[in-house]
Amino acid sequence: MSIARSEAWKKLAAHARVMRKRHLRDLLPDAARARAMCAEHDGVFLDYSRQLATPETLRLLVALARSARLAEKIEGMYAGECINATEDRPVLHHALRAAEDEVIEVDGADVVRQVYGVQHAVHRFVERVRDGEFLGATGRRLTNVVAIGIGGSYLGPEFVAESLATDPECRAAAAGRTLRFLANVDPIDTARALAGLMPERTLAVIVSKTFTTAETMLNARAVRAWLQRSLGQQATARHMVAVSTNAAAVAQFGLDPDNMFGFWDWVGGRYSVCSAVGLVPLALHYGFAPLARFLAGARSMDRHFFSAGYARNLPMLLALFGVWNSSFLGFPARALLPYCQALHRFAAHVQQVDMESNGKGVALDGKRLPFAAGEIDFGEPGTNGQHSFYQLLHQGRTVPADFIGFRRSQQPLEVESHPVSNHDELMANFFAQPDALACGRTAEECAAAGIPARLIPHKVFPGNRPSNVLLLPVLDPYTTGQLLALYEHRTAVQGFIWDVNSFDQMGVELGKTLALRVREQIARSRSDPDARIKGFNPATSALLKRYLS
């Protein structure tokens, strides 16, 4: 039976009809409500009092979670049950950051042992490279890393790389080194990734779970050719390493099997940052120590997620209000607003984690969902976003938002004679925006402020726009790990409630298949300009004709 037919769902739908008539302007002054609607774990503080909700809403959402057998599903995930049913796989990214003495068995094998086997190999390898023991073909140190991969083999590592780039310790550890990402098959991306790099000092890391992804394999061949042009055939073994689950394809590509770092089919691409996918490029650049702290942060959030009760559990609270906003209040999008420039790739990562996971049309049993699952995630760091799309957030459509801020900056700065530090200036905006969204400004307030009558309709802010506020100590490797795991688990919980498979991604396949047919046509037409364009609808045929002429 669809969750939408459960009593719990119906009660929430009725409750939403009542809550839609309430206004956050009236709810927010309630101090007891404010005290009740927050939670904290290991320095991560969540204030969800700006949700259009009351403690009763949370009670009903928890009942929905129970009705969706959430606890059972989470336990199944932890224990390695095959919850990715369409691909017949367990989902165990939490094992990637488990403590070394933890045991998680799948088919009689302890996956945590396997994880540490690879982690130790990565650690040894990056130290050899960073210490100048593993040298390039001409005997020079390898100080540049180009990580070639796309989707989950790119977005998470790039978000973490950017998050750590201005952390003082990480910055010092990366001095004199360069880390670039090459994801897009667009040759412009290849040019950008390789610009200014010397082949003899460059190590390419090909990151691909399947080692068949068209974009990654073509980019890997382009980089191999670039290396070989300067360094000859030997470049492949000395200047290219791989992270993959497909050892046969890696060997076929010509890489030294000793320089392949494995992971497992129970790690979904978009959940793979804590595997060798993230560890190899990031630890080459920053050293292994910050990555160990990053894993510890994710582990802290995992332990909290797998043990805390509903009303204190941060990923669950984010997820429950995600379901409330999208399924009951009818808000299909969600803005991620980190007030921290180092998180400028966070939204792009969460976008893949969340939209590839929960953007589904059918339930696990294959039946069409009677509601829209998944949300539209987007975002930019504040304050940049304020000068861009916040206009729509304040006076256009309602988009629930997550504000993410830090008590201290990675890079403190004060400018003489300004009343507050630059970080305080940033954070003044961080605290103001959620209230502006929640409370708005009435016509009466506009009139009292002396705004001319003809402008009042334009200056009214309707308010009643929900948001979460997350406040953390400082962005560093540990808190980056916490954030990563927080948002991974949020997505899983929403998927568990909607009863979709959050761990496959069949919706990406059709376009790829059609692209193969287009590629064949282009190849045919390039070698024979008179070749007939066939097999496409008239609109596509006309476009291809124009492109090929």
Residues that bind ligand F6P (CB under 6 A): 150-153, 208-210, 213, 216, 269-270, 356, 505, 508
| Catalytic entry in 215, 356, 375, 488 | 356
Alpha carbon of residue 451 to chain centroid: 43
Task: Quote the tokens at residue 519.
Answer: 């590629």
* 102: Cβ contacts below 8 Å, ≥ 6 apart: 95, 112
Asked if 64 and 8 count as a contact pair (C-beta separation under 8 A), the reply is yes
Nearest CB to ligand F6P, comparing residues 512 and 526: 512
CB of 326 to ligand F6P, least distance (A): 22
Nearest CB to ligand F6P, comparing residues 256 and 504: 504
List the end-to-end C-alpha distance of the chain, in Å, as a whole number: 55
- Residue 313: what are its φ and ψ, rounded to 5°? -90, 110
Amino acid at position 162, single letter:
E
CB of 81 to ligand F6P, least distance (A): 21
- Our CA angle for 237, 242, 243, nearest 5°, is 160
Nearest CB to ligand F6P, comparing residues 210 and 442: 210
DSSP code at position 406: E
CB of 121 to ligand F6P, least distance (A): 19
Give the burial class of 366: count Cβ atoms within 10 A of its Cβ; 0-12 exposed, 13-18 middle, 19 or more buried.
exposed
CB of 269 to ligand F6P, least distance (A): 3
* 302: Cβ contacts below 8 Å, ≥ 6 apart: 94, 97, 98, 485, 489
Q: Which of 240, 266, 269 is nearest to 255 (CA)?
A: 240
Asked if 166 and 263 count as a contact pair (C-beta separation under 8 A), the reply is no
Query: Residue 456 and residue 14: Cα distance in Å, rounded?
Result: 35
* 434: Cβ contacts below 8 Å, ≥ 6 apart: 50, 401, 403, 467, 469
Nearest CB to ligand F6P, comparing residues 73 and 209: 209
Amino acid at position 310, single letter:
Y
| Catalytic entry in 367, 418, 512, 545 | 512
Query: Residue 99 and residue 249: Cα distance in Å, rounded?
Result: 31
Nearest CB to ligand F6P, comparing residues 325 and 502: 502
Nearest CB to ligand F6P, comparing residues 260 and 472: 260
| Catalytic entry in 10, 367, 387, 418 | 387
CB of 146 to ligand F6P, least distance (A): 16
Query: Residue 398 and residue 437: Cα distance in Å, rounded?
Result: 9
Asked if 305 and 197 count as a contact pair (C-beta separation under 8 A), the reply is no
Nearest CB to ligand F6P, comparing residues 169 and 504: 504
CB of 155 to ligand F6P, least distance (A): 8
356 is catalytic: yes
Catalytic center residues: 356, 387, 512
